[in-house]
A and B are shown apart, each in its own frame.
Chain A
């Protein structure tokens, strides 16, 4: 079955450093991967989407990579700020139904 995994432990990063979050998948090749940000008590907010034929996508301080050999996507936040503290979710879909399968999320804490 399709499975997507994120590091369940919180990630503590010093302000100004680059935060890197990992999303691993098994048993399939997703058509695309998405990253969302979720703040406490709020719904997820879409950040970036990367397709299987793309290696890297950037948006301001955010960068996503997609390695189909390692079956992994990395999400980077450069020059991290305390306001970047949130839970980051990855999700994928592998079919035309666009039915998303979600990871459990990684909590990111940026310390001043």
Chain B
């Protein structure tokens, strides 16, 4: 099976702009989680989607949003970008049975100038 794919891999934006990141999970996986990773920080959970519904949400401001489509592909959106949003954004695909293990994509590196 193909792994988790994320697009784009790299992105440069300026403050105030918005950005949309995309994630395609492993075929057959219906759950997608999104994380933010910054140097020195652990992975910070953003949200999880399952069957087009947000199932869990982390402690991030409302500028961070997401959605999931019927084919399980997911997008996350960050509006009104701030310098502190510069990070590696990772999405993880989860098989519903044996749900503990997360399969990560390569990430999207976002730089906000």
> Hey, which bits of chain A sit against chain B, CB under 8 A?
4, 8, 32, 34, 41-46, 49, 89, 91, 93, 97-105
Give the Cβ gap from A3 to chain B, nearest Cβ, in Å: 10
Q: Tell whether, in the assembled complex, residue B104 and residue A44 are in contact, meaning their CB atoms are under 8 Å apart.
A: yes
Q: Tell whether, in the assembled complex, residue A34 and residue B100 are in contact, meaning their CB atoms are under 8 Å apart.
A: yes
Q: Give the docked Cα–Cα distance between A93 and B100 (Å).
A: 8
Judge whether B70 is part of the interface by a CB distance below 8 angstroms.
no
Interface residues of chain B: helix, strand, loop or mixed (majority): strand
A–B Cβ pairs within 8 angstroms, 11 of them: A34-B101, A42-B107, A43-B106, A44-B104, A91-B43, A93-B100, A99-B48, A102-B35, A102-B45, A103-B42, A104-B42
Q: Find the A residue at minimum CB distance from B92.
A: A43
Which B residues between 18 and 62 are near A, CB-CB below 8 angstroms? 35, 40-45, 48, 55-56
